[in-house]
Structure 1
Amino acid sequence: MTLATPERYVQMLDAARRGSYAYPAINVTSTQTLNAALEGFAEAESDGIIQVSVGGASYLSGQRLADRVTGSIAFARFAQEVIDHYPGITVALHTDHCAPQYLDEWVRPLLAYEKDQVKHGQEPLFQSHMWDGSSIPLDRNLAVAKGLLEDSQAAHTVLEIEVGTVGGEEDGHSAQIDERLYSSPDDGLKVVDELGMGESGRYMVAFTFGNVHGAYKPGVVKLRPDLLGEIQGRTARAVSSGQFPSPGPEVPGDKPFLLVFHGGSGSEPADIAKAVSCGVVKMNVDTDTQYAFTRAIAGHMFTNYDKVLKVDGEVGAKNEYDPRSWGREGEDGMAARVVEACRELGSAGRALR
């Protein structure tokens, strides 16, 4: 396993679009959850994406420091060292859901750091960053994205944007579950009009089709993955008519956008498959892997409660409350869920050689 170079990352994304499969993008909050994700990718023989959220980046720096940039840099350096010891597959690093209030204190400093790395002949620390402008009007969202795309190109990274609103809650950012959860085909034309077709820098788009973050009972979330096909088709027709320049031979004519599926946890396999067929190349998985990690630890604690606790004056059993014992169980549980995600998305066994 190796850390993706900018060129390798673009190859991964283009291969997924051409091959109609997608990569799980696994949110992690610690070296243990990172190791679990890597274990899952290795077992599935799948390339993949590791990402940290705004809250995860802060948490990674420690509660007392709570510095998102420091946490991101330290994490990325640790991840690169570990990833380089896993042969056979490639992993990219990504920052997830940077809302407007965090832009100047998180992603812009990271892009500046990476531009300096590139200036000195080094590879960027992360391979992509997400700008989440879903809480502001689309014209302002895309205006900010245009500036970030210029910075991303200079930093040799890929930009991810969100068009529409993802419902639910993640790291303190929440949105209602209503009609705003559905992007429109016209939104695709506005994106291309502002950001181009890749000639000004590579980017991915998370158009929304009913997505929500978090865990919900059946029937609450109503996904419309066909909407992604409508958006792709409307934009493809605009390109073929000459309204926009052709993106080049590497882009399938019916899939002009590299799409991202947010809130993938708990989604029905049929909805996932349809979204991937429409050009989704990256699906975020967080809630399900959090639960898989914690559920395994909870099982250990309940099974060994009299050993992890000093009950009735006893001394417990050190080998059962040693964090490495229950930590390994958490890693195994989460790794199994990552393997499942790779199989659902079709990336299992398709690592680029």
Structure 2
Amino acid sequence: MSSSGRILDQEPSFSHLPGILSAMPSKACSVALASAGAYAAAQAFLAPSAPQVSREQQVRHLRQQPAEAATSSSCASAGALALGVAAVAAATAQSKRAVRRQVVRQATATAEKTEKAFAKMPASVKPGVVTGKALVDLLNYAKENEFAIPGVNCVSSSSINACMEAAKKAKGTVMVTLSRGGGQFIAGKAADNTDDAACIAGTVAAALHVRQVAKLYGVPVILHTDHCQKAWLPWFDGLMEANEEYFKLHGEPLFSSHMLDLSEEPLEENIAICKKYLERMAKIDILLEMELGVTGGEEDGVDNTDVDSSRLYTQPEEVWQVYEELSSVPNGNFTVAAAFGNVHGVYAPGNVDLKPVILHNTQKYVKEKLGCESDKPMSFVFHGGSGSSLEDIRYAIEAGVVKMNIDTDTQWAFWDGMNQYQKKNKDYLQAQIGNPEGPEKPNKKYYDPRMSLRAGEEVMADRLVQCMEDLKCIDRL
């Protein structure tokens, strides 16, 4: 608390005033005037209906006092001042208690409202950014109820807001995902990116934006970062430092989860690096998403268009190796983006050879190894879903997919919203002044960037609601 805050909380003491006034008789009259004013204020506060003496009357009365009585008057006035201030302090304390009661009532009402609004959700899940146990509970809730949470790659506050708007419309939950390149764009392409400084700063800035506004949408939001290959680990380290600092201040990490995509490395190295980072992440309640196999196509600078097709399909034995190592980390929580033919990019339905049965077989394999009762001990992530049939998507969700990346469709929707706005208002967007309504008519309200950006947000949000319907992530609160 600031020093000013401490001063306001201290009880005032005036026991020293009589001595001061005795030593300074020449100032007794002025102090007495102040005393009278304070006493009158106290009387008005404690008994506002009683007759009050005007300040002018008090002043006239005090000026008529004999000079030799100044000292005794000052003492009496000081006593009145002390009495008045004490009464005001008591009333103030009572007022503070009333304020505290009001705050408690409001907090209780908010909690009851949230509980009612989130009747279907686990009790730990609240509006705003979800981390730690609440995140694990949320993902398990999705797996048990067979729906997947859309993970949307965002590159601006507008796309972030469109995600949360969609979740609010759908009464579901959403994952705001930030990439290394997206972070740099948010910081500004002209910003110094030495040692990934801009990539780190922009990603953190976007996360703080989500932290500030997510609760206003009344939905649970997962704050995540996407593909991080081995060469980009300095970016990952910078984010971890931000998480650790945030944890010290708030008792939870800045982000909900992070992805490490080391699928291009040998399996043993992939697992070893992931385990090392999970040990660090587990200390501050961050969930790890790791990738096995390779997602084909190209996204955010990662080009796997010519990868051997055999690497597009993860084997159950590989998933078991991951489970054995990562589950040994105390408090470690993780999901696996296991490849089953996934490809980044835009493809017409039928051109992507997905085999979600791989996920079903893997769940059976891990269950047998563990000897557990659960039919879905693993939590899977679905990357590269563009062009997938609804049947394949739903079948993958039944196999324990709790999150699916949604990028190209929402990016196109944002652009399409802006493009349609431009077409609709073309005649008002050719100059600052002059339009079909007259040569001197201003066009500012049309070219204001907020107008076209908002059009993009609206169309993106509507498209994302459609995606959430495909993922059965509707009315889940």
TM-score by structure 2 length?
0.68
- Alpha-carbon distance in 1 for matches of 2:233, 2:185: 17
Question: How many angstroms does 1:311 deviate by?
Answer: 11
Q: Counterpart of 2:233?
A: 103
Tell whether the 8 Å contact from 2:292 to 2:336 is kept in structure 1 after alignment: yes
Selected match of 2:279 from 126, 132, 150 = 150
Task: Indicate the structure whose relative CO is greater, using CA pairs within 8 Å and at least 6 residues apart.
Answer: 1
Q: Does residue 298 in structure 1 map to residue 419 in structure 2? A: yes
Other-structure match for 1:125: 254
Gaps of 5+ in 1: 241-245, 247-251
Aligned to 1:249: none
Are the aligned partners of 1:166 and 1:208 in contact in 2 as well (CA < 8 Å)?
yes
Matched residue SS, 2:216? coil
Larger radius of gyration: 2
Q: 1:229 aligns with which of 360, 368, 375?
A: 360
Mapped to 1, the partners of 2:330 and 2:377 lie a distance apart of 13
- Is residue 140 of structure 2 the alignment partner of residue 140 of structure 1? no
1:90 to 2:220 alignment:
yes
1:239 aligns with: 370
In the alignment, which residue of structure 1 is the partner of 2:75?
A: none
Partner of 1:187: 318
Greater fraction helix:
2
Q: Which of 186, 207, 224 is the matching residue for 1:60?
A: 186
Is 1:21 the counterpart of 2:150? The answer is no
Within the alignment, does 1:112 sit opposite 2:112 as a pair?
no
Aligned residue for 1:85, secondary structure, equals helix
- After the TM superposition, which segments of 4 or more aligned residues of structure 1 sit over 4 Å from their partners? 197-200, 311-316
Q: Does 1:70 align with 2:196?
A: no
Look up the equivalent residue of 2:431 and give its one-letter code: K
Q: How far does residue 82 in structure 1 lie from its aligned partner after superposition?
A: 1.1
Report the counterpart of residue 196 of structure 1 in structure 2.
327
**Deviation per CA, 1:89-118, whole angstroms, max 9, x where unpaired?**
2101000001111112x1122113322333
Query: 1:268 is matched by which residue type in structure 2?
Result: S
Deviations 1:164-192 (A, max 9, x none): 00011111111035221111111112112
Q: Distance in 1 between matches of 2:329 and 2:464?
A: 30
Q: Is the 8 A contact 1:23 1:283 kept in 2?
A: yes
Alignment-derived partner of residue 210 in structure 1: 341
How far apart in 2 are the matches of 1:332 and 1:153?
37
Deviation at 1:300, TM superposition (A): 1.7
- The aligned counterpart of 1:326 is 452
Asked if 1 retains the 8 angstrom alpha-carbon contact of 2:348 and 2:387, the reply is no
Specify the code of the residue in structure 2 equivalent to 1:225.
Answer: P
Name the CA distance, whole Å, in 1 between partners of 2:190 and 2:156.
Answer: 16
1:174-225 deviation line (CA, Å, top 9, x unaligned):
1035221111111112112221277550000000011111112333311111
Determine if contact 2:131/2:286 at 8 Å carries over to the other structure: no
Q: Helix, strand or coil for the counterpart of 1:349?
A: coil
- SS state of the match for residue 201, structure 1? coil
Query: Matches of 1:237 and 1:324 in 2, distance apart?
Result: 55
| Inter-partner Cα distance in structure 2 for 1:163 and 1:86 | 34
Give the distance between the partners of 2:469 and 2:380, measured in 1 at CA.
Answer: 19
Partner of 1:51: helix, strand, or coil?
A: strand
Unaligned runs of 5+ in 2: 1-126
| Residue number in structure 1 paired with 2:288 | 159
Q: Which amino acid aligns with 1:237?
A: E
Relative to structure 1, the CA distance from residue 304 to residue 167 in structure 2 (aligned partners, 3 Å threshold; closer, same or farther) is same
Amino acid at match of 2:447: Y
SS of alignment partner, residue 217 of structure 2 = coil
Corresponding position of 1:170? 299
- Give distance in 2, aligned partners of 1:144 and 1:5: 22
- Which of 322, 329, 336 matches 2:462? 336
Pick closer, same or farther for the CA change 1:325–1:238 going to 2, 3 Å.
same
**Distance across 1 between alignment mates of 2:169 and 2:432:** 39
Give the Cα separation in 1 of the matches to 2:391 and 2:137: 27
SS of residue paired to 1:126: coil
Q: What is the aligned counterpart of 1:273 among 362, 384, 394? A: 394
Find the counterpart in structure 1 of residue 377 from structure 2: 256
Q: CA contact under 8 A between 2:349 and 2:389: conserved in structure 1?
A: no
Change (3 A) 1:259 1:291: same
Change (3 A) 1:194 1:83: same
Letter in 2 for 1:115: E
Q: How far, CA to CA, are the matches of 1:265 and 1:319 in structure 2?
A: 36
Q: Give the total of aligned pairs.
A: 339
Q: What is the percentage of aligned positions where both structures have the same residue?
A: 37
Distance, in Å, in 2 between the alignment partners of 1:189 and 1:79 is 35
Q: Secondary structure at the match of 1:155?
A: coil
Residue 198 to residue 13, structure 1, CA distance change in 2 (3 Å) = farther
Q: Partner letter of residue 187 of structure 2?
A: S
> What SS does the corresponding residue of 1:20 show, helix, strand or coil?
coil
